[in-house]
Amino acid sequence: MNYPSLKSFVLRSKLCLLLLLGSVVQAQAEGLTAEKVRWHGFISQGLIQAPETNFVNLDDSISAELTDLGVNMSWALTDNLRLAGQVVYLDGGRRYTKGTRLDYLFLDWTLHSDFDWRLDMFVGRFKNQHWLYSATRDVPFTRNAIVLPQSVYFDSFRDIAVGSDGLAFKLTRNTSLGEVELNWSWGATNLSKEQSQILLSQLAQGDAEQEYVHQASLFWRPDQSAWQLGISLLDSDFTYEKAEQDYYSDGAMTVQRVMFNGRYAAEFWELSSEWVQERLDISDFYAPGFQRNSFSQGWYLQGRYNLLPKTWALLSVDLFDLDKDDRSGRKFSESTGGLVPAYFGYQDDLTLGITYDFKDNLRLTMEHHWVKGTARLAYPVMPDLQHNKSEYWQMWAMQLMYWF
């Protein structure tokens, strides 16, 4: 079993203190005096095990590296100007960068608001509002599952997909066909060396940089309907500048995504689904003159059922193919002379889970994953043959979460 290091223990303690302080401030500020400044937070701890993979750790043990903590503030400066910020501490083992970070800090300027439409502009570091769970993927009680479907929410991409520093707009409009929400954003994420190595493996010694990420999405909630439907587009460019001693060369990558999503809500059950096609264009990088353009595809369908008043069951199917024209991974394996097994070309996941609410803000979630393939395990550009040894593998996780 992996225990947190002293440094991470101190960090967690500090954040717990902040959370406690937030709770006290919240409790002290009664009634409407608290409306100008609002504090909220969450704290969660879990256990996870994913043997025979590099998903969480390398020694196959049960890990306590499943921690999400956060505290946020929203401050209404004027009637149409607001400042919002959140600090989080995350520990997902090897899934993404561990530590405390500024999750978001932005100014929200409401440019127009009436009963028919509203337009907001956001400046600063904001969350990705374009996918079903992207804005709150680190907030455990807002997710259906502890580990989100990796076809869409690939943990190795978490740090670059979770938000951006830049400019965004949100428009909501009531039409005769229902409510329409349009989001647009432009920005970039600064990649630390650790974040680069989660993407590119520890062989990468140079500097990876996201030049920009440009996204747009449209959500439609028809009147008198239990449906919500959406589409989103993403375009992003990266560059890599090699170090003096480096496995990789200078290079450039383009990532483009087309996504569709849908959600159906009934009183005692709910379905949600997202489909993604991702284009990855790599120039040089592996070697000067190297060129590859490929299209991956994936989708998931999650169903939740309200078994008992405080209990929801989850059934999730998540499918991903690294190359839509090579779903078996055979050509991919052949292109490496058989060195990389074909199961690195896909990853299909069946998940069963259960959630129990002890209170309105205290929840326990448990889930088990049966997985075939390793295409959504690190590293996206360099298959980890040493640690991802099996085509079939399993994972379980449990997490206790509290929020205020």
Partner 1 sequence: MKIKFVTACVVLWTGYASATEVVTHPAVPMDQLTVTQLRGIYSMRQQNWPDGTAVRVFVLPAKNPIHQTFAKEKLQMFPYQLDRIWQKITYSGLGAAPVVLTSEQQMREMVANTEGAIGYIENSDELSKLKVIRVTQ
Q: Where does this chain bind partner 1 (CB under 8 A)?
A: 31-32, 35, 38, 40, 42, 70, 72, 74, 76, 79-80, 82, 84-86, 104, 106, 108, 110, 113-115, 118, 126-127, 129, 135-136, 139, 141-142, 170, 172, 174, 178-179, 223-224, 265-267, 270, 360
Q: Which is nearer to partner 1, 72 or 196 (CB)?
A: 72
In angstroms, rounded to a whole number, what is the distance separating the alpha carbons of residues 320 and 324? 9
370's enclosing H/E stretch is: strand 362-373
Q: Provide the β-strand partners of residue 87.
A: 71, 102
Type of residue found at 295: F
Minimum distance, C-beta of residue 290 to partner 1, in the bound complex (Å) = 38
Minimum distance, C-beta of residue 192 to partner 1, in the bound complex (Å) = 22
In angstroms, rounded to a whole number, what is the distance separating the alpha carbons of residues 82 and 104? 13
Q: Which is nearer to partner 1, 137 or 376 (CB)?
A: 137
Minimum distance, C-beta of residue 376 to partner 1, in the bound complex (Å) = 24
Q: Which is nearer to partner 1, 78 or 245 (CB)?
A: 78
Q: Which is nearer to partner 1, 25 or 64 (CB)?
A: 25
Q: How many helices (H) and strands (E) does the chain have?
A: 4, 16
Minimum distance, C-beta of residue 34 to partner 1, in the bound complex (Å) = 8
Minimum distance, C-beta of residue 195 to partner 1, in the bound complex (Å) = 21
SS3 323: coil
Q: Which is nearer to partner 1, 316 or 388 (CB)?
A: 316
Alpha carbon separation from 281 to 73, 233, 337, 400 (Å, rounded): 39, 16, 22, 40
In angstroms, rounded to a whole number, what is the distance separating the alpha carbons of residues 100 and 8? 9
Distance of CA 254 to the CA centre of its chain: 19
Minimum distance, C-beta of residue 354 to partner 1, in the bound complex (Å) = 16
In angstroms, rounded to a whole number, what is the distance separating the alpha carbons of residues 51 and 99? 24
Classify residue 2 by its DSSP letter: B
Minimum distance, C-beta of residue 136 to partner 1, in the bound complex (Å) = 5
Minimum distance, C-beta of residue 79 to partner 1, in the bound complex (Å) = 7
Q: Which is nearer to partner 1, 89 or 126 (CB)?
A: 126
Residue 319 in tokens: 């499918």
Residue 316 in tokens: 């999730």
Q: Which is nearer to partner 1, 64 or 107 (CB)?
A: 107
Query: Positive or negative CA dihedral for 24, 27, 28, 29?
Result: positive
In angstroms, rounded to a whole number, what is the distance separating the alpha carbons of residues 294 and 126? 30
Residue 113 in tokens: 């608001």
CB under 8 Å to 336, separation ≥6 — which residues? none
Q: Which is nearer to partner 1, 267 or 325 (CB)?
A: 267
